[in-house]
Amino acid sequence: MSFWDYIKDLSNIARRVAEWTGGEWWVYGLLGLLALLLFLVPSLLALIWIERKVFGRLQVRYGPNRAGPFGLLQPVADAIKVMTKEDVAPARGDRLLFRLAPALAFMPAMAIFAAIPFTRNMAVNLDIGVLYIIAVGSLGVIAVFMAGWASNNKYSLLGAMRAVAQTVSYELPLVLSVLAIVLATGSLSLVKIVEYQTVPLLLLQPLTFFIFVVAALAELNRTPFDIMEADSEIVAGYHTEYSGMSFSLFYLAEYTHALAVSALIATMFLGGWKPDVGIPWLWLIVKIYLVFLVFSWIRGTLPRLRVDQLMGFAWKFLFPLALINILIVAIEVQALEGFPGWLALVNIPVAAIILIGMARLFRFGRVTAPARAPERG
Amino acid sequence: MIGAGIVKGMAVTLRHLLRRPFTVQYPEERLPLPERFRGNELIWLVEKCTGCNTCAKACPHGVIQVETSAKLDENRYFVEKFEADMGLCIFCGLCVEACPFEALYLSREFEKATYRHEDMFRRRDDFINAQKNFSGYFYPYLDKERPKRLEGW
Amino acid sequence: MKEEAAPIKTETFMVNMGPQHPSTHGVFRMRLSLDGEVVVDVEPIFGYLHRGVEKLAEGRTWVQDVTLTDRLDYLASMSNNLAYVLAVEKLAGIAVPERAEHIRVIMAELSRIASHLMAVGSFLNDMGAATFTPLIYMFQEREKILDLFEMTCGQRMTFNYIRIGGVSCDLPEGFIPALTRFLGEMPRFIDEYDTYLEDNEILLARCVGVGVLPPDKAINASVSGPSLRGSGVRWDLRQADPYSIYDRLKFDIPTGKNGDVYDRYRVRMEEMRQSLRILGQSVRDLPGGDYRTKVPVTFRAPAGEAYAHLESPKGELGFYLVSDGSLSPYRFKIRAPSFINLGVLRDLLIGCKVADCVVTLGSLDIIMGEVDR
């Protein structure tokens, strides 16, 4: 085996090490974890830097450029600052839950990566990969609610309530959109889904892509769906009371989640490690970063929706859209006994027509609450 | 139609992404100050001052304190004390305008942060020894050849 | 045995919004009673920034009081200067040179644009453009206006420029070319900004039909400025009771239809365009001559009283002065538009969501320096 083979497929290294140690299962596990950390930690720092830089340039300023060359060390400086800060817990809060929540927020976001295939071999080939990711990904909200409850703060509580409502609502279109992919590919395994994509699913199922991205943005609580930490309304939402390292855990969890969702989009819609030339896993990483750049751009541009409009959007727009999408995909799969690449030519106009049609029909409902102004004595 | 406006907005921000940053990297890069810039320092010319106390009266905050004694041989007042607490000054320039003998000016210095309030107190000697960077405020003829600010944008 | 289900009990809870809150525009505090996300009651509390300007002014001379007015609405200090000075001039019957009148109008309109930029930017920030993008675009343009101010009078915020009898110093050379260039660039910026957010669906969803202020209620509460015009009342002191040289200038008064947050936002954007029109005219007609009638440092206004008002960016800004013929005013009363516009806040907020609270407050455009004085 040449050096190039090792670089192209890092799992070869793991196999070599495992052979050397006798092929115990935990060796694979540890090596996988190590590889993941080696990817995750620099990526998180890079993500924070990228986002700040993108915001900077969107706003016609420089962005971080003091710490290190091009400000590259800015996240490191932030980390040092955050670690040296005092970690305050509210006196009347639930101390145990308060401490537990940040750790719990970080875990599911990281666990998603277990199932992301970096190449054909650099993955745990889970047969239920998609199911696993959805199940694990939705655990994050528990931590958010825990934090909101344990903080004993009204802003936190409001944020946590919003988070629960939002996550539950957007989970449905998210899952339904993934279902369309599963219908087409006939597999829940992410490796199979990638291998299926000779034409990226972005082109094959643009409607699915749209639903997934919007719902994922909501899951990530980034603008325009960031009501659970809406800084202009409820200060910082569920992590209002957090400071120091526990706050930064939430912050990191958010970026890990963003990274995970970008990775999912890159895997499921942009063809993962394909085209299979050069170093395949680098392709995936480039795609992940591209998706994240778009996320940052969206976040830097749009204002935020109100909570009732957000729910309305989920239930009155995305949910029916997801159902229509499944119907279309199911008919296509049944009629053609497969999902040939030329369907892209059909599906793109179909998606455009349906999107425009739905958008014309949809109105953000104006919920007028009963005005029961109490009379002042 | 839902979405068109959002797309237009995204295009606008994308265009901004390619523009040159508008901000200035302050300590290294400095904008030329306008001629009339009112910095946070007073300039007092001891040789011109007659100790008439007009500036002290004009000041809205009572920043300036003047004490004089008669100098009979020269037929003028000697300004014994000229003190100003720049920590109280609001740089309104009323004293400069009030001065009938052009003995008071505002300075163009602005990096005058100190750790203690007392350090902002200026005594007679401080004024005499201070570096004098005259502002063109109220005396526009002072600054004909200084660099102009508004060329950059 | 049948178990009686206990009825679900809900209760309203109190949330303090402010005085330290990211979006209450200074130290304003609202005590919200919430039923879930719905606002049941609001109690606006202010006074955290009270400095006693009205009383302080009685201890200073007429000339020195100009510096106090700088610190009311600190985003449009020029308008404040002008309003006070107009009152003093009315009291003392001082005639102002033609050139000074033009310079004053230029400054007032520039500060109107600066103030509206800030108002719109921070309003969009309240709406959750959480990364400050619109606000920073606004700052960029405001910066150019501040540069013009700095060039003229040496300061960027507290100008102390407009004086009794004129202005403190003449326009510097290079001001008119710079202003002309600004006038050329600004419309393009406003257009670009409109493309950015004017028909952004999220903005529309958040603004249209929110915080509706009916015209009769607005008039009853004596709301003024863009908030009043947003409700469709065509009332602008620049035309209703012209001061300075406004009777000679041509401009339109933009008004809204529904009186909601969106209309107030549109009115501000449109007013910026009109201000540019005014600026163009007053620059064109700028005469030469003196910029100031000399007023002694020991200026004494004759005994009597006067009220002068003008259309500041926030609304009708009025100064009521009583003089007993001494060096300083006997009574110094400010009619602050922000303060009076806040009077309708409770009516606007009850029944809306928490998120709308912030947006509605932002659309009223209050400056605490002026509210608390």
List CB contacts (< 8 A) between A58 and chain B. Answer: 13, 16-17
Shortest CB distance from A61 goes to which of B2, B9, B21? Answer: B21
Q: Residue A82: is its pLDDT beyond 70?
A: yes
Q: Quick one: A80 and A92 in the same domain?
A: no
Q: Quick one: A25 and A124 in the same domain?
A: no
Chain C residue with minimum CA distance to A371: C351
Please state at what angle helix C354-364 crosses helix C261-284, rounded to 10 degrees: 20
Is C230 within the bounds of a domain? no
CA separation for the pair C265, C127 (Å, rounded): 12
List CB contacts (< 8 A) between B14 and chain A. Answer: 297
Give the pLDDT of residue C257: 84
Q: CA angle at residue A273 from A272 to A274, to 5 degrees?
A: 90
Q: Supply the range of the domain harboring residue C346.
A: 51-213+275-355
CB-based contacts of B49-54 (< 8 A; 24+ apart in sequence): B49/B79, B49/B82, B49/B101, B49/B103, B49/B104, B50/B76, B50/B77, B50/B79, B50/B101, B50/B103, B51/B77, B51/B78, B51/B79, B52/B100, B52/B101, B54/B98, B54/B99, B54/B100, B54/C297
List CB contacts (< 8 A) between B9 and chain A. Answer: 301-302
Is A372 within the bounds of a domain? no
Is residue A351 within 8 A of residue A210, CB to CB? The reply is yes
Q: Quick one: C68 and C28 in the same domain?
A: no
Q: Identify the helix (H) or strand (E) that includes residue B65.
A: strand B64-71
Chain C residue with minimum CA distance to A56: C133
Is residue B16 very low, low, confident or very high in pLDDT (cuts 50, 70, 90)?
confident
Is C3 within the bounds of a domain? no
Q: Quick one: C187 and C66 in the same domain?
A: yes
Name the A residues in 141-200 with CB < 8 Å from any C CB.
Answer: 154-155, 158, 161-162
pTM over 0.80: yes
Q: Residue A119: is its pLDDT beyond 80?
A: no
Q: Residue C360: is its pLDDT beyond 80?
A: yes
Give me the total of CB pairs closer than 8 Å, taking one residue from chain A and one from chain B: 42
CA separation for the pair C316, C291 (Å, rounded): 26
C152 at interface of B, judged by CB pairs closer than 8 A: yes
Q: Quick one: A56 and A123 in the same domain?
A: no
- Write out pLDDT tens, residues B37-74: 888 888 888 888 888 888 888 888 888 888 888 888 87
Q: Does the CA dihedral C353-C358-C360-C361 come out positive or negative?
A: positive
Give the pLDDT of residue A140: 82
Edge-to-edge strand list for the sheet holding C29-35: C13-17, C29-35, C38-45
Is residue A141 within 8 A of residue A174, CB to CB? The reply is no
**Chain B: closest CA distance from residue A59 (Å):** 7
Is A60 within the bounds of a domain? yes
Shortest CB distance from A359 goes to which of B3, B9, B19? Answer: B3
Q: Residue A80: is its pLDDT beyond 60?
A: yes
Is residue B153 very low, low, confident or very high in pLDDT (cuts 50, 70, 90)?
very low
Is A206 within the bounds of a domain? yes
Is residue A331 within 8 A of residue A184, CB to CB? The reply is no
Q: Quick one: A42 and A182 in the same domain?
A: no
C188 at interface of B, judged by CB pairs closer than 8 A: no
Is C166 within the bounds of a domain? yes
- Write out pLDDT tens, residues B63-105: 888 888 888 887 778 888 888 888 888 888 888 888 888 888 8
**Chain C: closest CA distance from residue A375 (Å):** 10
Q: Which of A41, A67, A84 is the last residue of a domain?
A: A84
Q: Quick one: A150 and A177 in the same domain?
A: yes
Q: Quick one: A42 and A149 in the same domain?
A: no
Chain A residue with minimum CA distance to C138: A59
Please state at what angle helix B4-17 crosses helix A25-58, rounded to 10 degrees: 90
Comparing CA positions, the residue from A185, A189, A171, A177 lying closest to residue A129 is A189
- The rounded radius of gyration (Å) of the Cα atoms in chain C is 22
Q: Residue A279: is its pLDDT beyond 70?
A: yes
Chain B residue with minimum CA distance to C154: B37
Q: Quick one: C44 and C56 in the same domain?
A: no
Comparing CA positions, the residue from B150, B37, B134 lying closest to residue C152 is B37
Q: What percent of chain A has pLDDT over 70?
A: 94
Give the pLDDT of residue C131: 72
Is residue B148 very low, low, confident or very high in pLDDT (cuts 50, 70, 90)?
very low
- What lies within 8 Å, CB to CB, of A301 at 6+ separation is A58, B9, B10, B13, C129, C133
**Chain B: closest CA distance from residue C298 (Å):** 9
Q: Identify the helix (H) or strand (E) that includes residue B129.
A: helix B124-129
Q: Quick one: C62 and C19 in the same domain?
A: no
CA separation for the pair A118, A113 (Å, rounded): 10
- Write out pLDDT tens, residues A16-38: 777 777 767 777 778 778 878 88
Number of domains in chain A: 2
Q: Residue C121: is its pLDDT beyond 60?
A: yes
Q: Quick one: A65 and A131 in the same domain?
A: no
Q: What percent of chain B has pLDDT over 70?
A: 89
**In this complex, which chains have at least 3 CB pairs below 8 Å with chain C?**
A, B
Is C345 within the bounds of a domain? yes
CA separation for the pair A192, A136 (Å, rounded): 20
Residue B130 main-chain phi, psi, to 5 deg:
-65, 150
C59 at interface of A, judged by CB pairs closer than 8 A: no
Is C295 within the bounds of a domain? yes
Number of domains in chain C: 2
Interchain pair B37, C150: CB under 8 A: yes
SS (H, E, C) chain C: CCCCCCCCCCCCEEEEECCCCCCCCCCCEEEEEEECCEEEEEEEECCCCCCCHHHHHHCCCCCCHHHHHCCCCCCCHHHHHHHHHHHHHHHHCCCCCHHHHHHHHHHHHHHHHHHHHHHHHHHHHHCCCCCCHHHHHHHHHHHHHHHHHHHHHCCCCCCCCEECCEECCCCCCCHHHHHHHHHHHHHHHHHHHHHHHCCCHHHHHHHCCCCCCCHHHHHHCCCCCHHHHHCCCCCCHHHHCCCCCHHHCCCCCCCCCCCCHHHHHHHHHHHHHHHHHHHHHHHHCCCCCCCECCCCCCCCCCCEEEEEEEEECCEEEEEEEEECCCCCCCEEEEECHHHHHHHHHHHHHCCCEHHHHHHHHHHHCCCHHHHHC
pLDDT mean over A206-214:
87
**In this complex, which chains have at least 3 CB pairs below 8 Å with chain B?**
A, C
Interchain pair C128, A308: CB under 8 A: no
- Write out pLDDT tens, residues C14-52: 888 878 777 767 788 888 888 877 888 888 888 888 888
Provide the CA B48 distance to its chain's centre, in angstroms: 20
Shortest CB distance from A58 goes to which of C125, C133, C209? Answer: C133
- Write out pLDDT tens, residues A348-364: 777 778 877 877 777 76
Q: Which of A65, A84, A103 is the last residue of a domain?
A: A84
List CB contacts (< 8 A) between B20 and chain A. Answer: 60
Tally Cβ neighbours within 10 Å of residue A332: 22
Q: Quick one: C20 and C66 in the same domain?
A: no
**In this complex, which chains have at least 3 CB pairs below 8 Å with chain A?**
B, C
List CB contacts (< 8 A) between A57 and chain B. Answer: 16-17, 21
Interchain pair A300, B13: CB under 8 A: yes
- What does the domain layout of chain B look like in residue ranges? 33-150
Interchain pair C200, A369: CB under 8 A: no
CA separation for the pair C40, C26 (Å, rounded): 24
- Write out pLDDT tens, residues A93-108: 788 888 888 888 888 8
- Write out pLDDT tens, residues A41-77: 888 888 888 888 888 888 888 888 888 788 888 888 8
Give the pLDDT of residue A369: 45
Interchain pair C357, A234: CB under 8 A: no
Q: Quick one: C119 and C21 in the same domain?
A: no
Task: Please tell me the least confidently modeled range out of A183-192, A367-376, B39-48, C290-299.
Answer: A367-376
Chain A residue with minimum CA distance to C40: A373
Is A174 within the bounds of a domain? yes
Give me the total of CB pairs closer than 8 Å, taking one residue from chain B and one from chain C: 101
Q: Quick one: C339 and C301 in the same domain?
A: yes
Q: Which of A84, A103, A131 is the last residue of a domain?
A: A84
Q: Quick one: C17 and C126 in the same domain?
A: no
Chain C residue with minimum CA distance to A305: C202
Domain B33-150 architecture: 2-Layer Sandwich (3.30)
Is residue C185 very low, low, confident or very high in pLDDT (cuts 50, 70, 90)?
confident
C-alpha separations of C138 from A302, C120, C132, C254, C267 in Å: 15, 8, 10, 21, 16
Residue B107 main-chain phi, psi, to 5 deg:
-100, 165
C29 at interface of A, judged by CB pairs closer than 8 A: no
**Chain B: closest CA distance from residue A11 (Å):** 39
Q: Quick one: C38 and C95 in the same domain?
A: no
Q: Name the 3-class secondary structure at B10.
A: helix
Residue A311: both structure tokens together: 């729910």
Chain A residue with minimum CA distance to C35: A369
- Write out pLDDT tens, residues A283-307: 888 888 888 888 888 888 888 888 8
C-alpha separations of A236 from A89, A123, A204, A232, C21 in Å: 16, 37, 39, 8, 10
- Write out pLDDT tens, residues A221-273: 777 777 777 777 777 778 888 888 888 888 888 888 888 888 888 888 887 77
List CB contacts (< 8 A) between A297 and chain B. Answer: 10, 13-14, 17
Is C167 within the bounds of a domain? yes
Chain C residue with minimum CA distance to A162: C37
Q: Quick one: A75 and A54 in the same domain?
A: yes
Is residue A374 very low, low, confident or very high in pLDDT (cuts 50, 70, 90)?
very low
Q: Supply the range of the domain harboring residue A215.
A: 86-362
CATH number (domain holding residue C150): 1.10.645.10
Q: Quick one: A50 and A134 in the same domain?
A: no
Is A75 within the bounds of a domain? yes
Is C269 within the bounds of a domain? no
Residue B116: both structure tokens together: 């203690």
- Write out pLDDT tens, residues A313-345: 888 888 888 888 888 888 888 887 766 777 777
